[in-house]
A and B are shown apart, each in its own frame.
Chain A
Amino acid sequence: MGEVIVVTSGKGGVGKTTTTANLGTGLAKLNKKVVLIDTDIGLRNLDVVMGLENRIVYNLVDVIEENCKLKQALIKDKRYPTLFLLPAAQTKDKTSVTPEQMKGLTDELKQEYDYIILDCPAGIEQGFKNAIAGADKALVVTTPEVSAVRDADRIIGLLEANEVKDPQLIVNRLRPDMIKRGDMMSADDVVDILAVDLIGQIPDDENIVVSTNNGEPLVGDNSQAGQAYMNICRRVTGENVPFLDLDVKKGLFGWLRRK
């Protein structure tokens, strides 16, 4: 039985889609069977970040409305045969899908895939409710800025109110030089304020822009962000091992500090 993970943030532009793409690709690298679902109906983006925009025939709404079979709508990744994308519809809106339908879909996918990762739209309306409906766990992405952290806090409250327990935090776009100067909150500062577990900290890395330009997630390559994302993937798969997270985290933090 697979696991349904929703990647959410509240605020837009903090790196949800990039995180979803890298998490999915990284897990496929670890030989897991993965489906990525873009739940941002009307504003699809995950397809271009994955470099699969030219292969779309059917989309999420087609599957829900039974215009096609689920298998027909899943797009196989260019590089990894166990990685699939279910793109969002571009011409519909978020009310085309209900939370019950989303839960039905993820429950079905869980039977066959190890991980179903949902890219949640920004905001707390219908799209958010759809995305979290079938989620077993949530990864909350934030950046070390007051607006993003505030929204993350709100999202964490809503997740807990909707029975998605113990969300884990990814702090994105960290700049060690600014943290050292005292001009940026560290991941620890953010964790302190939000009182949730940290699962990853991603440095601000220009390679992300390059990888998005090319439509090839950089997880697992030699870049700082690529390694940080791979570490998150390993933590996602190894989460039943006690204290493993903490050790990896310390290692990563030391590495961030040294920069």
Chain B
Amino acid sequence: MKITDIFKKKSSSDVAKDRLKFVLVSDRANCSPDLMKKIRSDIIEVLSKYAEIDMDGIDISLTQMDTEENGKTVPALYANIPIKNMNHNSK
């Protein structure tokens, strides 16, 4: 990504940029960390009906996605949920 990535320690300006990108995504979407937590647990609850989920590997977060029109970005929900086993005889 950047030359600075070669070195182990990130420069503080890169840290600032990364932190800002994250905080602005949730600011812009008007989505509090609390709400994210609820969305996360609801998604897990629903999916658990159909599959056994690897709880340690779950990554659910709000990110930004480029739209096709004039380079604007919109918030997007990113979810990476590893499945251990499918529950074929679901309740």
Contacts and interface: CB of A to CB of B under 8 A. Distances in A.
Interface of A: 144-146, 149-150, 153-154, 157, 179, 181-186, 189, 192-193, 195
Given A146-B19, A193-B21, A182 B13 contact: yes
11 contacts: A150-B23, A150-B27, A153-B24, A153-B27, A182-B4, A183-B11, A186-B13, A189-B13, A193-B21, A193-B24, A195-B71
B28 interface: yes
Given A150-B23, A193-B21, A179 B16 contact: no
A179 B13 contact: yes
Interface of B: 4, 11-14, 16-17, 19-21, 23-24, 27-28, 71-73
Given A193-B21, A195-B73, A185 B16 contact: yes
A189 B21 CA distance: 11
Given A182-B13, A184-B13, A189-B13, A157 B19 contact: no
Contacts of B24: 150, 153, 193
Contacts of A145: 16
Q: Among B11, B13, B14, which residue has the most Cβ atoms of chain A within 10 A? A: B13
Contacts of B21: 193
A257 to B, nearest CB: 15
